[in-house]
Structures are given as structure tokens and as C-alpha cells.
Structure 1
Amino acid sequence: MQFISDVLPDLAARTPLSRNADVNLSPALTPKDLLELPSVGSAVPNVSGTLLFVIYSKWSHDTDTESCSLQVSSIAGSAAGSQTILLEIDLPAGEAFWFNDTTLVVAVPDSTEHTTSLYACNISQDSRPERVARSVAEIGELIGALPTDSAGHFRYSPSPRVLVFTARVFSDGNLVTAVAQDRAWSERKDTARVYDGQTYLRHWNQYGGPMHSALFSTSLSVHERKWQLGDTYVNLLKGTYHKVPATDSPGPDFDVSDSQVVYTTKDTSLREAFHTKKNVFLVDLNGRSPPQELTIGDHGGTSNPIFSPDGKCVAWLEIESDGAFDAKNYVVLYDTKTKTRFTLLQGWDRSPSSIAFSSGSHVLYLTAPEIARVKIFAYPLFENAQDNPAPITLTHTGEATDLHALSDGRLLYTHTTLTSPGSARLLSNLHDISNPSAIVSQEVASPSVDALGAPREYSRLEEFWFEGDSRKVQGYLIKPRGWTASKKWPVVLLIHGGPQWLWGDSWSDNFNTQIFSEQGYFVVAINPSGSTSFGQECTDAVTGDWGGAPLRDIAKGFKGVLKEYTEIDPKRAFAFGGSYGGYMINLLQGQARGLGLQFAAMASLCGIFNTEYLSYTMDELFVMRHDWRGWPWEKQSQSIHDALSPHKFVQNWEIPQLVMHGDLDFRVPVTERIATFNALQQRGVPSRLLIFEKESHVFENRNNVLIHFNEVFAWFERFARVKDAV
């Protein structure tokens, strides 16, 4: 057998790391340009729906700094591109929440003093527009400080004048002594950690420690212009072992009413890493009575608990079975007076990702993935279910998140697309949702022109469908910048993570499909079996079959594109994937020839080498237990690992591959990439390994994201030239 490195020995030569900002690229959008575009936070309205605030962040490559600002603007009468900024606050870190219609409270953590200071900022519609960002200490009035720098997820209940927030504490649940306890723990003489298996050994990018997140309440009021912040902090979860938010949840996992808090937390009788079951509880704001469980029987994860505005109902999302982390979400409605519950939308073949009540509590708004978009739907409540067989679609493009129902039939949400990092949009005329054509959609807040830079024209996202392994499969094509049919173009196949995920019309700066077309590649992004938004049967099809039907779908679709577009140069075909996509890249290494595929080179990020070993080392062990049909020693699971683990096919590996990973990735430990690289080296296949220190499964350091993009393009270009020469 003749190794590729024997034919092309120059490719094994040492190549310096691609630290240049743009690696001699000159398209309209470079990786540096992409990463310097602003990140857009959620738009949060005041109670009357007249004002909103958004937190924007922007990274500068030249100074290697990230600036964050909070902007307050008017909702009423706004038009795209004409928003009036009433206030702009320089906010390096922290959160904000509305105290009332004209007062914004900004929470600023201090990691030196280990406190969180609260500042009150007064705003009105008549305020003079403030376009020079100033610090919150200059603009606001200091209310007081909480005795921790871990406070977050603030919710204010105005009627009882109670502030609820999360903070990290030790097992005694004492917020006041938590900082001193943490200091003592950090300064201990030994470095031993002990685990008995009940909690996560490690999760995402850190080992489990003695602290956990809990819910607290305290008083917050103003009288005759004098602020009063309580100095008593009630731990609403004390003695329960509940964690809010849960270790494996992005939060906040709770909501407040005039008298109670509803929250969801992992079932404390089960091992965190083995199970997904989360229960929903009600607890009084004063914490004087123990939490009351609302969930019953066997079920899986729960999320997004909310109160209806009239206080009569609680709603949440619930998965039917424990362990099935990406199964369909159902909507559960709980009547707080009669203590009865109803499960809604059982016949709807979509899985809601978030919910919100209308201001009158008679309509439930939902977001849900549908055909590679995340749309907003409306579902009338308390009517004959036969009259409402399915929710009514309100939006049709991009990705919608963070719903806030306003008065007068309005709905505020955050919206992104593949070519837009985000904006706040408003739906109006929702009084009669049976007439969607009357609904008006408008942009009410977005990054400034200065932040976005010069307007750019991007290649159009083209949708295509084909007959896959056992179902119709959807994908996207993006033609390269400067496309002309008279020229031959390189092509890149992009494989998404998950596997229960999707390529959609939404913004991402870490894995943006548009950036590849901007560098001159014809982009093929396929949503194979296992992808979300195409019905639960499609999503569930990946269970027990990570590398079966999904890989055949991808191969069939990619070959179809190559046949359809003769402008593509098949000698310059490349593939790139991250996480599950990295698993598929490794699997393609061993199966590409058998599938009739050829690639000049491939690249993978945080991918998997040995699925059986990963079943023991992953942080969330329930993932592999569910998706690979049991524990790795069990017969059915073992047979699947034998058939679909990439390491079983190393004898066929021959495609040059770039391998990248973060050394703090506990979802897919870094040893998976070291094994991948060593296998490539042992096979004599041209390969390159990049280890990013202090990075987890998703890179946070923008410089590292930039290098990862540059290395991918440099790697592909290297082999594009070689293939041309050959």
C-alpha cells in the first residue's frame, strides 16, 4: 500500500500557525470581519411596552478587547433604521431588569470585592437622546450591593416589592457566608476532590465543586426617592438540594408572580449524569412553606416554566420520557386554583422551544423549529381543541427567540438570519390571530450602522430537497462570492453538530456557513436524518444510527449536487464538521470510498474517535446511553458501536485532515482528538493537530475562533493547490 505522505512528502513539512488576521483573503466578509460584527442580546421591554433595552457586545481584533453597551430605546412608533436611543450605558459585565416603566436597574458584579452593585437609571420617553456611552456609576444611582458576585437571572415582582435572583452557595445555603467559604476552599492546602456519583463529576468545562446555584429573594423598594435594598436573603430552596438553574441548563429556569416562584430542577433522587428528568415546583416568595411539586409520574426534562399574567395558570415544556433529551416537548398547562393539569399540542408534529402567554392570558405564543427555521406560532387557549388542530404560524423566516407579549396585541422578539447578527422585531395587530395577513412586522432595534460597518451583499441561501436513505431530505446551497458558470469552483461539505441539530437561516459567529462562500467555496449544508425541525420522526431516526442513515443521506445529497452543478470542481472537494459533525468527518475517513465520495482534504473540530470510550468519559452520560441504545457493555449498544464507531475503520483512513480541539472540552474530551491525530500519523496520512488551551466544546476566545477559521482555509487551500498540480 502506498501512503499519501509518500507521494506528497512536502505536505508533512512544518507550517506556522495562521495567526494573521485574514491569511491574505480579500472577499467582502473575512473571518476577522465576521468576528468583529456586534453580538445582539435579547430585547427586554418594560411592563407597558413603551421602552426596551438590548445589550450589545463588539470585539476588536486590533485592541483584543470586547466592549459591551446597554441601549434603551422607544418601541412605539419605531421604524427600521430610525430608532431613537434614549440612553446608552457602557457595561463591561452585568445584567439589567426593569424596576418599573421608567426605571432600569443595572446589576454590576465586582470580582475583586465579590459583590454585585445595583444601580437605578431613570428613563422616560421625553429623555434627551444620550448617544455617548457612559458608565452606569455616572448615570445611575447606587441602590446597594448584594454580598456575592455570582448573582444573576434577576426577576422583580413589583406588587410585593421582592427581587428574586440566583446565586452560588455551599451546602448550608447561606449567601452571606458563601464568599468566605469559597475563599477557604480555594486556599485549602490539598487539591483533592471527591465524588460519590450523585452529581456531575465534571460538566462542559469545569469539574464539579462544593457550590451550587440556588434561588434567593430579598426586598427592593423606593420611597420618597430613597432606595431600600433588603439585607435579608431568603434561600427559597434551602433543605431541598434543588439547583436553579440546573448544572446542565443555560437558565434561568424560573418565573415570578405576585406571590410565588415557579421553577424547574433536576430530580434529586436520580444521578445527574445518568438522567434528564426535571421536576417543576411552586414556592412562596417569602419561602415560609416548602416547595410544592407540580409534575407527576414518569417524565423527562422540563423547561421554560411561566406564570400567566392573570396568575391563574402555570405553563411549562415537558418531554415525555427520561433520558430522551431531544424528544418532543409538550406544553403542560396547570390551573393553580383547581390544581389540575392539561397537556396541549399532543398531535402537533413540532417541538416547541419556548412559550409565552399573551397579555390577556388567552393565547399561548410558541417558538418551534420548522423546516430549518425557528418560527413563532400562536395557540388560542380555553377553546374547543377541535377548532384549533394546530398553532397558527406568525413568522416564516430566520430564527425567532426571546418572546415578550405586550399589551394591545403586540409581541416583541429577537430575530436573526444567516446574514444578520440580530435585531429586535415587533409583531402588531395580534388581536385576531385567525387573520395572519393583517399582522404587521417591523424592526424596532438593531445594531448601529457604525457597529455593522458598510452594507454587504451576501450570496443567496438556496434550499433544495432530495430523496435520502428513507425520507425526503432538505439542504442548503450557497454559491461562492463572484459566482459565474464559466468558472470551476471548489466545494465544501459542511456537517452540523448535534446530531439533533440543524443548518438553518440563523446567525452564528463560531460556525457561520456564509463565511465559506465568502472565501470562494460552493457551500453544501445538508440536514440529514436526525436533524431537528422536520418532525419528531426525523429527529428520532438518529437514535441507534448516528453514522448509518445520516451518512448515507449526506453522501447521496452531496453526490447529487456535484452531478447537478458541473461548475463544481470535484478534485477540490472538502469537508468540515464540528462535534457530531467531527464524528462524521472521522467516519467519512473510513467510509468515503465505499460511498463513492472523494475529498481533497477534511477538517474537524471537537470530533469523536471512539464512541464506546466516549460513553464512559462524556459529561452527560445520558446522551450516549439514549442515542446508542444502552450502556456500552450491553449487547445492543455494543453491536452499534462495533458498526459505527470511527476507530473501527482506521485501516481505511487516507484523506488529509486538520484536527482541532479545546483542552477543557468535557463534552468530548480532548483525548478523542489526540487519538484521531495519532491514528492519522500512524497511517501516514498528512495531518495537523491544533489544541486550544482554556477552550471548551464551543470556543469563547475570539482570537482562537479566528485562528480556527484561518487554519481551515489555509489547510483547504494547501490541498487545492496540490490537487491542481496532480
Structure 2
Amino acid sequence: MRFGYSLIFAILLFSVVLPQEKKLLTAEEIWKMKRIGAFSVNPEKTEALFSVTTWNAAKNESTGDLYLLNLKTGEYRKFTSGKGSESSPVWSPDGKKIAFVAKRESDEAGQIYIIERDGGEATRLTEMPMGAQSIKWFPSGDKLAFASNTLPEARGNLDTLKTLLKAKKESKVSAKVTEDRFYRYWDSWLTDGFVTHIYSVEIASGKVSDLTPESTAMLSVSGSGADYDISPTGEKIVFSANVTPKPYFTDLNFDLFLMEADGSGKVTNITPDNRAGDGAPQFSPCGKFIFYLKTTNPNLEAENQKIARFKIEANSDTLLTKDIDLSVNEFTLDHKVGKIYFTADYRGRTGVFSVSPNGSGFQKVFAEGTNSGLAPDSSVVYFLNNNNSTPQRVVAVDPTTGTSRELVDLNKDLTSQIEFGKFEEHWFEGAKGDSVQVFMIYPPNFDKTQKYPMIHLIHGGPLGAFSDNFHYRWNSQVFAAMGYVVAMVNFHGSSGFGEKFAESIVGAHGDMPYTDIMKATDYLTDEFDFIRENRIGAAGGSYGGYLVNYIAGKTGRFSALVSHAGVYNFYGQFASDMTHFRERAYGGAPWYNKEQVNKYSPANFAENFITPMLVVHGEKDYRVVVTQGLELYGVLKGKGVPARLVYFPDENHWVMQPQNSIFWYKEVGDWFNRFLK
């Protein structure tokens, strides 16, 4: 008996001492992670709300809750727990109430709910037939503004709108009819006559007023939501709207409009002379200025977005960041210290920067990982941050020192059990002798005595980058965990390396990016002897899929390729939802400069296809239409090249549903394993 107790004790001791073996990251593990979204700080800068989406992958279902964070102590708790999805929290001016958008059990569309900061049950404020979006408080705190879709023939009457919607739903005619050049966006048709209006709703009574009753303008390319701000007095609203008339033969052009907030419909275009884009307006605290994002040259594909300051009384604007070679993603004002904080792509990261309201005093605040949702408060800036091995979290940074501290990481328990591969940054000589960046991820538990196959992951855009971020759809650590060295090249045309670098591929879509991929392959195989030179693959989506297709027609160096939503035939892309910019990007169109278009169209090199290819496409993809993938697959099979088609009837440009995503990772992994191992 004594022997039995001793044995049990020894087993228990061994189990305690023995370190737990870490897991490898898989697609299944990714869908267990909690995803932090919208981040909103209260007026006193003492608390914040953030949304959290949790997935039940087995059921393809998600729930969204709001969490409350004490910014001083770092303590947080779940604040709402309604069934369904809750997002977009905004604090009342006195910090005592919170408005948010939720789609609860009886809601057909997302509605505005109000809840007291001190707790209690949330109450529904709106019953808009097409839901509510883009909510903001008026400074008085007695009403909210929001955006919602309507039909012009309803003439502002919500009961009439309900009747019209019911008739549309019950109609047996399913045809979509248009004479417009721009008639679809992403995965939706824009032919049903809906327009977006800006409304107000009184907190006490729930009375809804249409503030843009006669408007038929397009307020966003997606056909829903609005980009606007309310003046400090609550008397005026500035919003962005397209001014290009139907049928949209030329590029869409968004200008800024200033209107009375009383519903009179009095509107003035304050940027009529700018033929490029104006958006993301924000009033200054004094109400005398409007800060916004601006581009100035409609003939550029990759122009930097700049922060502009519009002086209302003088009807004039000033570009504040024109001499800073960064393209601004988002910005916010810190009136306490007189600074504008903004984010921009920067050398494979999304950094945080600042300037004064007159454009001077440019400063790099924080440039690690990928950052968004800025909320400054004098001596600290709060925001969301993620990196290659850390999903989205809440951090605080001292803007004078750049020192950061973590406030919330909901996934730390999960990620602490995962063995991540080492993430490195390298630079090599690419096309035209330019320095080009490549990130390299080692397989977890790397053994330098072993040889490993390599996969290039090629980013989309092309105006974009593979950054130091935690990517749910194209996660480099998942591929590294499959036993591959992963390379991510930020080739010519990528963002974050200056406007000239980003603009350099216009009219020559595949030229320098292809050269950069090939030179990166040479550099990595020469520099690192653990890479198997004869076992290299490449995978890309969107533009990355295009470049994979272009590679297939130019070289047989790769052992396997994966083209996800990739452009195969440039002519066919004039069925895309966005066609205006393609003439510039391709250097022509089917009706002029056809030779230039064909020069970089993969279909023009089909006779050279020899590399096994997995082709992936979604039926609801209106950006790169599904016929691109089907045509590519048909050519490969007709030519006798090993090929496999993965077709998703219910996905768009991206694979978004959990079970489809898990299946996608398996198909891509199996394809590479088949030819690279």
C-alpha cells in the first residue's frame, strides 16, 4: 500500500514539474479567439467601451458583446450580454449614457439601443425599417444622429417605407436593371433604388426626423452608412457625398457638404473644386475649422491621403501633411495638447504619428505592429494593437517616450499555449535596384539542421502590404505551423514605403512585383541554407492571386501555386464592381491601348502554364468576378496542368464563415503538402 502511495506521489510530482508542451496554431484555434472591435473612450477619459465578437465555429454563428474598461486600473468586465450582435458604442456628452447598435431577437435590422452607464436594461430607441448605422450624439445630449437607408418615393414616411419594402419582398420579379457603370459593390447590388439619409432621434420621445429629406446623393460606395460629424453647437453637420452624376462614366468624386442640422435641407458644397476625394470630416472643438482627409489628383492610383484643415469663415483649406510621405488611414484630435494623432502604413506596420493643427511638429509616436482606434488624452494615447503573434488587444502609449503598456488581451490564455514561429524582417535589392522588404516566419520548433520548403504569401491590393499583424484569413503563423518557411514580400506597389514606390507599377501591373518576388526567392535561398530550393510555392489572393497567375505564365521555378480570387484575364475585369481605376492600373482598356493591357494579363501567357495550381473563388465575389477563377481553371485542365478548383457558392472576395475558413486552410495546406513535401 505504501508503494502505491509513493508511485502516485511520483506521478503527480512528475506531472507538475514537466512543462506543458505547446500547441501549433491551426485554423480551428483561430476561430476560438475573441475579436476586439470598436473602441470608444468616455468624455472624462477614465473608461472605455469595446466590442468583442465570439464565434461558435461549429454552428457558423457569432455573438457580439460590449466590455467596459477602467483606463486607469486596467480592470474590465462584460457590460452587455444581449442575444445577437452588439457594436458601435458611443458615450453621451455627460458620460452617463451609452448608445450602441444591436440586432436582438425581434429586430430585423440593427437598431439603436440606450443603456445607463451605471447599468440596467438597454432600451431600444429606434425601429428603422432598414436599421440604423453611423451613430453620433448631439452635443446637447438630448438626441442622436444616425444614418439609415430609405426609398425616395417614401418621402420620409416610415410607414410608407415599410409598405414599399414589403411589396419588394413579395414581388415575384427578381431582375436587376441598370444603365449605370457603377451598379454593384463587393457582394451587393445597388440597383434597388435605396438612398442613405441622415436622421436624428430624440432620446426622451424616440421621435425620428429626416435631416436630409430631399437627398438622393450617394453617401458611401457600399450603399449604407455615412461619413459625417456634428458641430460643437449642434447647429451644423458636415458630411461626405458623391457628386459624380449618373451613370457614373467618370470616377466617383466625394465632396464635403455643410448643412443645417434642423432638417431644413439647406446644404452647401464646401469642396467643389477638388476633383479627387474628400472624407472623414471632423469639426475642431471651437467649431471654426473642419479637419478631413483629402486627395488632390484623380489621375493617381496610389496618392497619399493627406489631412486638410478647412477654415469655415474664409472658405479655404490647407494641406497639413502634404510634405510627409505617408498616407493617412485615420486621425483624431487631442484639443488638450493641440495635436492631431493619425495612423498610416509604415514599412510593414501601421504606425501612430502626430502633427500640430497647423501641420508642424511631425512626430513618430509608435510604430510596432498594427494600430487603430486612436483615443488620445494629453499624456497618453489609447488604441487597439495587434502583431504577428498577438490578436487585437487594447494598449496605452506615452506619446513622448513611445513606451507602451497592455491594458486588455482577451486571448492571452490561449496564445500562451501556442508555439509561434520566429518573425524576422529582411531587406534585399529588388527591381530597379531598390531596397525591398520581406518578412520571414520560421516554422515553430525550428531545427537549423533540417531543410524546409518555403511558401510565398503574396498580398492583395496591390496598394496594401503584408504587415506585422495577426491576419485571420491569411495567417502566416498557421502556414508556418504546417512546417513551412513563410516569406511575405512587400513588393513595388505596396503601401507604407512612400507614394513613389506605391505608384511605380501603374500601367505595368505585373512587371516589378514579379521581379521582386523572384529576387526575394534568390535572396532567401542564397542567404538561408535551410530552405529547400526545389520545394517552393506561392499563394495569393485578389491582386496576390493575379500575381500568382502572372508568375505561372512567366516561370516554372515554383512547385505549386494557389490563386485565390485572382485576376486571370484583364478584359474580364470590366465586369468588376469597380471599373474606373482599371484603365489607369492596366494602362488601357478593351477599347484602347489593348496591347498594353495584354502585356501584363496572365491570359496572354497561358501557353507557358506548367505549375500545379489550386484555384479558389467565391460566387458572390463582385470585385474579381467568379468567371476569372472558372476560366483559369478551365484553361489549366484543358492544357493538362494539375489543377483543383475550390468554389464557394456563399462567399464573396473573402472566405468569412468559420467552417468555410477552416476548410480553406485545409485545402491550401493539403495542396502544398502534396507538391512541396
In the superposition, the TM-score normalised over structure 2's length comes to 0.91
Tell me by how many angstroms 1:612 deviates: 2.1
2:168 corresponds to 1:174: no
In structure 1, what residue type is equivalent to 2:297?
Answer: S
2 CA distance for matches of 1:569 and 1:310? 62
1 CA distance for matches of 2:379 and 2:416? 35
1 CA distance for matches of 2:510 and 2:652? 24
Matched residue of 2:328: which SS?
A: coil
Aligned counterpart for 2:36 among listed residues 40, 55, 70: 40
2 CA distance for matches of 1:233 and 1:712? 51
C-alpha contact (below 8 Å) 2:148/2:224 kept by paired residues? no
C-alpha contact (below 8 Å) 1:493/1:574 kept by paired residues? yes
- What pairs with 1:330-349 in structure 2 (closer than 5 Å)? 330-349=306-325
2 CA distance for matches of 1:94 and 1:284? 31
2 CA distance for matches of 1:252 and 1:512? 31
Task: Identify the residue that residue 691 of structure 1 maps to in structure 2.
Answer: 647
Cα 1:655–1:141 shift into 2, 3 Å: closer
Tell me by how many angstroms 1:353 deviates: 1.1
RMSD: 2.3
Task: Identify the residue that residue 507 of structure 2 maps to in structure 1.
Answer: 544
Cα 1:464–1:440 shift into 2, 3 Å: closer
1:87-134: per-residue Cα shift (whole Å, max 9, x none)? 34245224332234132233333686546554432234xx8xxxxxxx
1:192-246: per-residue Cα shift (whole Å, max 9, x none)? 3321216x2222112223243423332433xxxxx4322x322x333332232x1
1:287-333: per-residue Cα shift (whole Å, max 9, x none)? 22421112132431222111122222111111112254532112210
Cα 1:303–1:191 shift into 2, 3 Å: same
1:467-521: per-residue Cα shift (whole Å, max 9, x none)? 1111111110111112111111111011111111101111210111221111110
Task: Identify the residue that residue 12 of structure 1 maps to in structure 2.
Answer: none
Task: Identify the residue that residue 237 of structure 1 maps to in structure 2.
Answer: 212
Tell me by how many angstroms 1:628 deviates: 1.4
In structure 2, what residue type is equivalent to 1:421?
Answer: P
Moved more, 679-688 or 409-418: 409-418
Aligned counterpart for 2:69 among listed residues 53, 66, 73: 73
Tell me by how many angstroms 1:586 deviates: 0.9
2:595 corresponds to 1:624: no
Tell me by how many angstroms 1:461 deviates: 1.6
Cα 1:140–1:715 shift into 2, 3 Å: same
In structure 1, what residue type is equivalent to 2:25?
Answer: L
Runs ≥4 in structure 1, deviation > 6 angstroms? none
In structure 2, what residue type is equivalent to 1:391?
Answer: F
1:561-610: per-residue Cα shift (whole Å, max 9, x none)? 111111111222111111111111111111114xxxx2221111001110
2:160 corresponds to 1:187: no
Aligned-pair identity in percent equals 22
Cα 1:645–1:588 shift into 2, 3 Å: same
Cα 1:514–1:175 shift into 2, 3 Å: farther
Aligned counterpart for 2:524 among listed residues 561, 564, 567: 561
Tell me by how many angstroms 1:642 deviates: 1.9
Moved more, 103-112 or 537-546: 103-112
2:98 corresponds to 1:121: no
In structure 2, what residue type is equivalent to 1:147?
Answer: M
Higher relative contact order (CA 8 A, sep 6+): 1
Matched residue of 1:52: which SS?
A: strand
2:393 corresponds to 1:423: yes
Task: Identify the residue that residue 278 of structure 1 maps to in structure 2.
Answer: 254
2:290 corresponds to 1:314: yes
Task: Identify the residue that residue 458 of structure 1 maps to in structure 2.
Answer: 420
In structure 2, what residue type is equivalent to 1:624?
Answer: R
Task: Identify the residue that residue 20 of structure 1 maps to in structure 2.
Answer: none
Moved more, 93-102 or 553-562: 93-102
Moved more, 410-419 or 162-171: 410-419
Task: Identify the residue that residue 228 of structure 1 maps to in structure 2.
Answer: 205
Task: Identify the residue that residue 376 of structure 1 maps to in structure 2.
Answer: 352
2:114 corresponds to 1:150: no
Tell me by how many angstroms 1:268 deviates: 3.7
Tell me by how many angstroms 1:688 deviates: 0.5
2:368 corresponds to 1:397: yes
Matched residue of 2:502: which SS?
A: helix
Tell me by how many angstroms 1:363 deviates: 1.4
Task: Identify the residue that residue 549 of structure 2 maps to in structure 1.
Answer: 586
Task: Identify the residue that residue 492 of structure 1 maps to in structure 2.
Answer: 455
C-alpha contact (below 8 Å) 2:588/2:596 kept by paired residues? no
Task: Identify the residue that residue 414 of structure 1 maps to in structure 2.
Answer: 384
Cα 1:103–1:341 shift into 2, 3 Å: same
Task: Identify the residue that residue 517 of structure 1 maps to in structure 2.
Answer: 480
- What pairs with 1:592-671 in structure 2 (closer than 5 Å)? 592-593=555-556, 598-614=557-573, 616-635=574-593, 638-671=594-627
Task: Identify the residue that residue 4 of structure 2 maps to in structure 1.
Answer: none
C-alpha contact (below 8 Å) 2:587/2:597 kept by paired residues? no
Task: Identify the residue that residue 216 of structure 1 maps to in structure 2.
Answer: 198
Task: Identify the residue that residue 101 of structure 1 maps to in structure 2.
Answer: 95
C-alpha contact (below 8 Å) 1:110/1:149 kept by paired residues? no
2 CA distance for matches of 1:179 and 1:273? 33
2:404 corresponds to 1:441: yes
Matched residue of 2:428: which SS?
A: strand
Q: How many residues were matched structurally?
A: 649
2:144 corresponds to 1:163: yes
2 CA distance for matches of 1:493 and 1:277? 37
Matched residue of 1:37: which SS?
A: coil
Cα 1:255–1:521 shift into 2, 3 Å: same
Cα 1:115–1:474 shift into 2, 3 Å: closer
In structure 2, what residue type is equivalent to 1:459?
Answer: G
Matched residue of 1:347: which SS?
A: coil
Task: Identify the residue that residue 31 of structure 1 maps to in structure 2.
Answer: 27
Cα 1:530–1:371 shift into 2, 3 Å: same
Cα 1:184–1:270 shift into 2, 3 Å: closer
Matched residue of 2:126: which SS?
A: strand
Matched residue of 1:185: which SS?
A: helix
Moved more, 652-661 or 84-93: 84-93
Matched residue of 1:394: which SS?
A: strand
Matched residue of 2:162: which SS?
A: helix
Aligned counterpart for 1:576 among listed residues 522, 539, 552: 539
2 CA distance for matches of 1:167 and 1:525? 40
In the superposition, the TM-score normalised over structure 1's length comes to 0.85
Cα 1:251–1:114 shift into 2, 3 Å: closer
Cα 1:273–1:700 shift into 2, 3 Å: farther
Moved more, 647-656 or 267-276: 267-276
2 CA distance for matches of 1:319 and 1:61? 41
In structure 1, what residue type is equivalent to 2:81?
Answer: I
C-alpha contact (below 8 Å) 2:198/2:226 kept by paired residues? no
Tell me by how many angstroms 1:394 deviates: 0.4
2:661 corresponds to 1:705: yes
2 CA distance for matches of 1:611 and 1:395? 40
2:470 corresponds to 1:507: yes
1 CA distance for matches of 2:618 and 2:518? 29
Tell me by how many angstroms 1:548 deviates: 0.5
Matched residue of 1:215: which SS?
A: strand
Task: Identify the residue that residue 14 of structure 1 maps to in structure 2.
Answer: none
Aligned counterpart for 1:51 among listed residues 44, 47, 54: 47
Cα 1:86–1:695 shift into 2, 3 Å: closer
Cα 1:423–1:249 shift into 2, 3 Å: farther
1:19-51: per-residue Cα shift (whole Å, max 9, x none)? xxxxxxx95111111222121102111111111
2 CA distance for matches of 1:489 and 1:544? 37
C-alpha contact (below 8 Å) 2:180/2:246 kept by paired residues? no
In structure 2, what residue type is equivalent to 1:679?
Answer: V
Matched residue of 1:167: which SS?
A: strand
